[in-house]
Amino acid sequence: MRIAPPFAALALTLLAAPSLAQTGTPVPAVTPARAPRPKIDVVFAIDATGSMADEIAQVKEHLWATANGILAGTPTPEVRFGLVIYRDRTDSEHTRVVPLTDDVDAIHTELMGLHASGGGDYEEDVDAALQLAVDEMNWSERGAKLVFLIGDAPAKSYGVDRAALLERARRMEITFHTVQASGMSDAGGQQFAQIAQLTGGEAEILTYREMIAHAGRQRLLLRRGTALYMGRRVLAEDERSLSFRELEGRGLLEPAPPAVSRRMTARPSRVRAPRRRAHGGRGVLPARGRAAAPAPAADFADSDIGGIVSREAREAAAAEGVAY
């Protein structure tokens, strides 16, 4: 007599057994696996030298609104923030990295403890900030990876191969968006624009506005990078609150007259305070009587830091499948 193999006997037993449907026992429903939530990593790389106090204040002020704006999408993305603080190699605190975290309170605490200081000469160690953002940040393996480089001075050359560094960032799918503050030179603006371009980001310029006396009237003056614009006429109060793009689109702006440009150029505005070394060569002190002048208020309508970050981060989140 042939003996059926064990697996054959088992198969016969299973075929003979009544099914769950036949016995009336409900068949459990199969729950589909949830798709992973989109990830958005946002790093602020901030020039923290003395002339950047206003821009640092903007980041502090708008951090929570920026976070809430990104989180307002469906599905709710996982959002983390990180910081790279940079100055120059001659400053007491050259660089500092705060790793990416979803604890916005912790990032806000770090920002509240950050004070603009240092920066005796004009150029800063921008390349150190790029390198730290690319190589030292705890990036997610998937999702959007955004760096907002915020500064008002070009990079000092320390022999870093910036093109190779940015190519590595591009391969890692890290996008740099650059934000130029008032006082940036044309050469620095070109550097920042190239950093953004080589990684697929946008180069933004902050707009600062103020009212000045001209020809016996109060006229609106806008400072955008090294360019100065003035209202073509005395603007109504509601017109003065329009964004730069709206003013330009309505034909309400013109280049500032040469006399105004000369006057504004001669006026110290956001000038970096020169430094002198203390006795013994330790530490740095601002030269007496040469403190930086306060900057005009930023144009929050269209080009404040919070608005730029929110817009670009939400666009990146939308590319990851988040609807707003």
Confidence at residue 180, expressed as pLDDT on a 0 to 100 scale: 93
Alpha helices in 33-175 (DSSP H): 53-71, 104-112, 126-135, 162-171
Q: How far apart are CA 226 and CA 323, in angstroms?
A: 37
The band of 251, judged by pLDDT with boundaries at 50, 70 and 90, is very high
Q: Could you report the per-residue pLDDT of 2-41, keeping only the tens digit for each?
A: 444 544 444 444 445 555 445 566 666 665 556 789 999 9
Contacts of 147 (CB under 8 A, 6+ apart): 43, 44, 45, 84, 133, 174, 175, 176, 177
pLDDT above 70 for 172:
yes
289 pLDDT more than 70? no
Q: What is the mean pLDDT of the chain?
A: 82
- The residue behind tokens 């990851």 is 320
Q: Indicate whether 305 pLDDT > 50.
A: yes
What is the pLDDT at residue 225? 79
Of 120-124, 140-144, 213-217, which one has max mean pLDDT? Answer: 140-144
Cis peptide before 36 (omega within 30 of 0): no
Instruction: Identify whether the C-beta of residue 246 lies closer than 8 Å to the C-beta of residue 299.
Output: no
Query: Which CA distances in Å does 227 have to 185, 193, 317?
Result: 10, 16, 33
Tokens encoding 175 = 């996008």
**pLDDT higher than 60, residue 272:** no
Write out pLDDT tens, residues 78-112: 999 999 999 999 998 999 999 999 999 999 999 99
**Cα separation, 61 vs 304, whole angstroms:** 11
The CATH classification of domain 39-206+297-319, taken from the options 3.40.630.30, 3.40.50.700, 3.40.50.410, 3.10.20.30: 3.40.50.410
Give the per-residue pLDDT at 33.
59
pLDDT the model gives residue 18: 54
Residues 288-301, mean pLDDT to the nearest whole number: 37
- The predicted pLDDT at position 285 comes to 27
Q: Do 41 and 82 touch, CB atoms closer than 8 A?
A: yes
Which structure tokens are listed for 93? 């605190």
Q: How far lies 240's CA from each of 97, 208, 229, 237, 246, in Å?
A: 39, 12, 13, 5, 10
Q: Residues 204-231: what's their mean pLDDT? A: 90
Residue 281: the pLDDT is: 31
**pLDDT reported for residue 23:** 57
Q: Give whichever of 22-31, 108-117, 257-266 has the largest mean pLDDT.
A: 108-117
pLDDT category at 243 given cuts 50, 70, 90 is confident
Domain ranges of the chain: 39-206+297-319
**Listed residue (307, 313, 315) closest to 79, CA to CA:** 313
Rounded CA gap, 187 and 226, in Å?
Answer: 11
Alpha helices in the chain (DSSP H): 6-16, 20-23, 53-71, 104-112, 126-135, 162-171, 186-198, 237-240, 244-249, 258-266, 305-319
Give the span between the Cα atoms of 183 and 111, in whole angstroms: 23
Q: Quickly list H helices, 24-97.
A: 53-71
CA distance 70 to 81: 12
Highest mean pLDDT among 16-25, 66-75, 259-268: 66-75
Percent with pLDDT over 70 in the chain: 78
Give the pLDDT confidence score for residue 97 in this predicted structure. 98
pLDDT at 298: 42
Cβ-proximal residues to 210 (8 Å cutoff; 6+ apart), any chain? 220, 221, 223, 296, 297
